[in-house]
Chains A and B, each alone.
Chain A
């Protein structure tokens, strides 16, 4: 009997192992729906920053001798993975707080959503240079208009985007989803990458979903084209989904922007 039990366990082990061997990491909505991210990351904030019309240089890496640039590899990776993060927002406007604050927790820095897209840090480990959206609390007061995004409702976001770029294609619609009324703001635009002197434009779309009652954004979907804006048919692919939550308080170390050991900020762009 004991031997039979052992054999059963061996078979069970092999089946479980085979399952682990054969599985692939899931992507997109399937993965996003598994629950909150362990490490909240700043990507969606970058996406949101892009959504308000700021060109974000994703990788300002010097051109190499090889014809295929790092940027292309980067692009391929970016297209392969779908990112998910959770953003938090504190103090909705109904509370009468002017200084609504939000953040995304990244690996290297924490981002104050008040500075969305308005400045980036180039960080170097002496071999590779990256440009990240980042922020320092001291900058917040100089960017009051951005604060509106953090604190703002979907209609105020619409006004802001139109104010910044009147030519931008932005649409606001009231819809019903799962029996609930929602507001859906669709912002069609572009982002750019730069490698050396070559700048490429990529079509993108950001969709903000809000509860129709309080009009506060709860979800963000960010789509990007598979290829640059070079005349080919545009096919947008979901690359990031953000969930905005409204917790009652902020952690004390919210504005700790220390970089990892061995890294240094090589430039700031405001």
Chain B
């Protein structure tokens, strides 16, 4: 089912890309609208800052526009955009010299998130960058192992092992946190969504 969905999405993207290249402004508009939220979300996980994420997402689409005639459809349009976003992110890091994502709770532009999800989000933020990138791309952005491998320029086996390590670390870390949360809830009453 997922493959079917991805297939139809790819077809739609192909059509929109070709129409965009032919000069159809509405197609360009639709392409941006289809992919902007996902790329913005990815950028937020990468940068940890809403403002920087918006800049990164914007820069990604501007670069994509410039590079669109060279897009050869050897991967999905979404993967291609993720690749550009990731490359732009490395430029952003180079400019910043260091990775200082703070992942401030509540200011990331998500609302209604459950407490468990907030805790998981915070734990993801604390993963080492190489584990975080693989985990976010694979598990949050839902890219295939192959796509992540291409994007991060690492072997597929490394993607799997990093993803596995990230999962194990997160579960290990969260077990203690959830235990403490449950204890606090028992004492303090019910939990509300954040």
Contact = CB atoms under 8 A, between A and B. Distances in A.
A16 B117 contact: yes
A163 interface: no
Given A12-B116, A67-B22, A68-B65, A81 B54 contact: yes
A249 interface: no
B50 A17 contact: no
B120 A17 contact: yes
Nearest to A15: B116
A38 interface: yes
Contacts of A128: 62
B120 A20 contact: yes
B117 A39 contact: no
A66 B21 contact: yes
A70 to B, nearest CB: 6
A262 B52 contact: no
Interface stretch (A29-37, A110-118, A180-188): A29-37
Given A38-B51, A38-B104, A76 B28 contact: yes
Interface string B50-65: 1110110110011011
Interface in A32-49: 34-39, 41
A77 B58 CA distance: 7
Contacts of A16: 114, 116-117, 119-120
B51 A67 contact: no
A94 to B, nearest CB: 32
B25 interface: yes
A39 B58 CA distance: 17
A260 interface: yes
A10 interface: yes
B97 to A, nearest CB: 9
A35 B106 contact: yes
B66 A64 contact: yes
B120 A34 contact: no
Contact of B55 (A17, A26, A74, A107): A107
A72 interface: yes
Given A13-B120, A13-B170, A70 B51 contact: no
Nearest to A106: B51
Interface string B27-59: 111011100111011001000011110110110
Contacts of A76: 28-29, 31-33, 36, 61
A39 B100 CA distance: 14
B171 A10 contact: yes
A80 interface: yes
B50 A38 contact: yes
A261 interface: yes
A230 to B, nearest CB: 12
Nearest to B119: A16
Contacts of B62: 70, 73-74, 128
Interface in B120-160: 120-121, 124, 139-140, 142
Contacts of A35: 106-107
Given A10-B171, A13-B171, A25 B65 contact: no
A38 B55 contact: no
A12 B61 contact: no
B20 interface: yes
B102 interface: yes
A81 B111 contact: no
Interface of B: 20-25, 27-29, 31-33, 36-38, 40-41, 44, 49-52, 54-55, 57-58, 61-62, 64-66, 68-69, 95, 102, 104, 106-111, 113-114, 116-117, 119-121, 124, 139-140, 142, 170-171, 174-175, 178
22 contacts: A13-B170, A20-B140, A21-B139, A23-B41, A25-B40, A25-B41, A31-B111, A35-B106, A37-B50, A38-B49, A66-B69, A68-B65, A70-B66, A74-B62, A76-B29, A76-B32, A76-B36, A77-B36, A77-B58, A80-B37, A107-B51, A128-B62
